[in-house]
């Protein structure tokens, strides 16, 4: 009886359950649709007319829907556990105290604070233009190759109508099931906090808050989804979350520093909320049984050194799909019953699918191999870090950097991957690989070679734009230094530490995949509860630019000033983990 009452109370207080119920409905509807479509496709023996490719798509679409439904049950259990911990924390908050607490910075907010995350119109417009080109170019290509003999404008109009209808239905489903929940806003005033999160607005006065907590958002791919914060009491929950690193379709707007990104501002919001409410930050995350100890357990990178079941499942499904697509493409069952005049075009698209499937399979193996290499590197660093704790004199630099009493100016430094460089490398490599492999398979000449070049160029540009959009935020790095401590973000990892919490100051060379000496040094402060690390890139080629803009010499002087200031504030010697043992 007690558990039933608690479950009802948890769902009454927390507005997240309305979103959970909506998600449950559309995921079950999607599963029903995919199962029904697969049964219908098999019943009419659709592969005899449309090819086995569409049968593969139907099968893996159903498999994806099953994963979504399974994840939905796990998601509901996760939010139920969060609610139970919230009620337990009302009785004993000390049991959930986070290992790392927010630190005050010298960059104070000017109340009232308004921070909004809204749609990036330029990104949305670009996606719409791309979808239009993706539909129109194949029709124009077929019309041009057939000379109009096997081209029906009436059929093209029907296809266009069907395409537009399917697109609008898909957009409608995507918007009401996912996209409309992405924008959010936070407002801080003298009285309290107001947020609009998952299309629901909630407010709470500072003096009414009882719990300030953080946890990861959901259970699937949680490490990339960011941190969720909540301020709550017995009657209400006010929640806000970091921006997903893949949510490049959203744009930040604030009445504070316009150059700050959304997630960085949330770090300052957490520090302000903790100071204003005088509440400790609690951690409601699922706590796994520790398999490591000491600095390894405190290192925020440790959870990323193991593949989760969901990730292994995705890699497995992608690999199986790629193998099946290779078999279908190699047997020539991708586009059956193609008119004779378009057989050459069919061969080009079939070859492209074969090459794409091969690249997909190689990509899976490359990612898994790269993960093992990176994991081995960080495990070796953890071993050296442990040894440096036991024998610090063994790793201490003979000539220490000079300590300085003044912090580097400016107190904030952002590092961003050059978008032009990333775009050029991605598009160039994709174009060359796709074109070369397709020509090896088909050996096309004349007009069909021109078609192959055009398709390869289109795919390369799309992959480049997609890579820049999704990888740009993941490669962002930021450092903020103040008299209270240091905060750093490297990709998806963000950590902060007060100077009095530091126990060791280390440096070592970054991992280099290809032969040669790495030109990036990694510095880190190790404490009892966390590890703060940042990079010093000695590469003079401007693959990375700074914010504010600095020349290479100014950037080096800033880093030297930072290292000297860290030594001055912590009183720790710099240890080099790359010294010969």
Binning pLDDT at 50, 70 and 90, where does residue 25 land?
A: confident
User: What integer pLDDT is reported at residue 93 of this predicted model?
Assistant: 92
User: What integer pLDDT is reported at residue 484 of this predicted model?
Assistant: 87
Binning pLDDT at 50, 70 and 90, where does residue 334 land?
A: low
Token pair 């009491």 is found at 233
Among 415-419, 447-451, 456-460, the minimum mean pLDDT is found in 447-451
Burial (CB < 10 A; 0-12, 13-18, 19+), residue 496, is: buried
Binning pLDDT at 50, 70 and 90, where does residue 420 land?
A: confident
d(CA 261, CA 251): 9
Average pLDDT, the chain: 80
pLDDT mean over 65-71: 85
Q: DSSP 3-state helix, strand, coil percentages of the chain (rounded to 5)?
A: 55, 20, 25
Q: 212-227: per-residue pLDDT in tens?
A: 999 987 666 555 667 8
Q: Are 159 and 142 in contact (CB under 8 A)?
A: no
pLDDT mean over 321-328: 83
pLDDT at 38 over 70: yes
Q: pTM for the whole thing?
A: 0.79
The 3-state secondary structure of 27-81 reads: HHHHHHHHHHHHHHHHHCCCHHHHCHHHHHHHHHHHHHHHHHHHHHHHHHHHHHH
Binning pLDDT at 50, 70 and 90, where does residue 341 land?
A: very low
pLDDT mean over 561-581: 91
Q: Are 399 and 581 in contact (CB under 8 A)?
A: no
pLDDT at 115 over 80: yes
pLDDT at 397 over 80: yes
- Quote the strand ranges of 102-171, DSSP E: 113-119
> Which percentage of the chain shows pLDDT scores above 70?
76
Q: 527-540: per-residue pLDDT in tens?
A: 988 899 998 988 76
Binning pLDDT at 50, 70 and 90, where does residue 47 land?
A: low
């Amino acid at each position: 009886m007690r558990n039933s009452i608690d479950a009802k109370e948890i769902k009454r207080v927390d507005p997240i359950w309305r979103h959970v119920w909506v998600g449950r409905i559309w995921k079950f509807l999607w599963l029903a649709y995919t199962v029904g479509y697969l049964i219908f496709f098999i019943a009419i023996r659709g592969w005899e007319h449309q090819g086995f490719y569409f049968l593969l798509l139907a099968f893996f679409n159903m498999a994806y829907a099953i994963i979504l439904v399974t994840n939905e049950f796990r998601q509901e259990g996760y939010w139920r556990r969060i609610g139970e911990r919230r009620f337990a924390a009302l009785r004993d908050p000390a049991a959930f105290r986070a290992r790392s607490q927010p630190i005050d910075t010298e960059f104070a907010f000017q109340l009232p604070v308004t921070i909004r995350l809204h749609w990036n119109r330029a990104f949305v417009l670009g996606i719409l233009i791309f979808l239009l080109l993706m539909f129109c170019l194949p029709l124009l290509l077929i019309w041009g190759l057939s000379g109009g003999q096997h081209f029906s404008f009436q059929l093209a109009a029907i296809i266009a109508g069907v395409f537009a209808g399917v697109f609008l239905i898909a957009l409608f489903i995507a918007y009401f099931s996912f996209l409309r929940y992405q924008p959010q806003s936070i407002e801080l005033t003298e009285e309290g906090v107001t947020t609009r999160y998952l299309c629901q607005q909630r407010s709470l006065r500072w003096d009414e808050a009882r719990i300030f907590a953080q946890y990861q958002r959901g259970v699937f791919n949680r490490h990339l989804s960011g941190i969720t914060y909540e301020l709550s009491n017995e009657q209400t929950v006010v929640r806000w979350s970091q921006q997903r690193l893949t949510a490049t379709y959203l744009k930040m707007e604030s009445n504070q520093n316009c150059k700050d990104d959304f997630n960085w501002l949330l770090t300052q919001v957490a520090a302000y909320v903790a100071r204003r409410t005088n509440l400790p930050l609690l951690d409601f995350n699922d706590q796994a049984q520790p398999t490591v100890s000491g600095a390894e357990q405190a290192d925020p990178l440790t959870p990323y050194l193991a593949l989760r079941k969901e990730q292994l499942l995705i890699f497995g499904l992608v690999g199986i799909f790629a193998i099946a697509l290779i078999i279908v493409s190699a047997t020539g069952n991708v586009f059956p019953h193609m008119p004779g005049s378009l057989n050459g075009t069919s061969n080009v698209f079939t070859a492209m699918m074969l090459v794409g499937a091969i690249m997909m399979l190689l990509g899976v193996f490359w990612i898994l191999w790269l993960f093992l290499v990176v994991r081995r590197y960080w495990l070796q660093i953890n071993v050296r870090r442990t040894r440096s704790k036991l024998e610090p004199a063994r790793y201490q630099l003979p000539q220490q950097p000079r300590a300085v009493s003044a912090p580097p100016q400016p107190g904030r430094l952002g590092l961003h991957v050059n978008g032009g460089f990333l775009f050029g490398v991605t598009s160039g490599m994709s174009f060359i690989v796709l074109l070369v492999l397709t020509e090896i398979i088909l050996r096309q000449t004349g007009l069909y070679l021109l078609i192959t070049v055009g398709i390869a160029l289109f795919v390369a540009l799309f992959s480049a734009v997609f890579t820049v959009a999704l990888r740009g935020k993941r490669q962002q790095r930021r450092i903020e230094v103040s008299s209270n401590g240091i905060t750093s973000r490297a990709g998806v990892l963000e950590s902060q530490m007060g100077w009095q919490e530091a126990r060791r100051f280390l440096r070592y060379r970054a991992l280099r995949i290809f032969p040669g000496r790495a030109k990036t040094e990694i510095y880190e402060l190790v404490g009892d509860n966390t590890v703060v690390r940042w990079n010093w890139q000695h590469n003079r080629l401007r693959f990375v630019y700074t914010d504010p803009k600095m020349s290479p010499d100014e950037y080096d002087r800033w880093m030297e000033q930072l290292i000297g200031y860290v030594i001055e504030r912590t009183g720790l010697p710099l240890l080099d983990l790359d010294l010969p043992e």
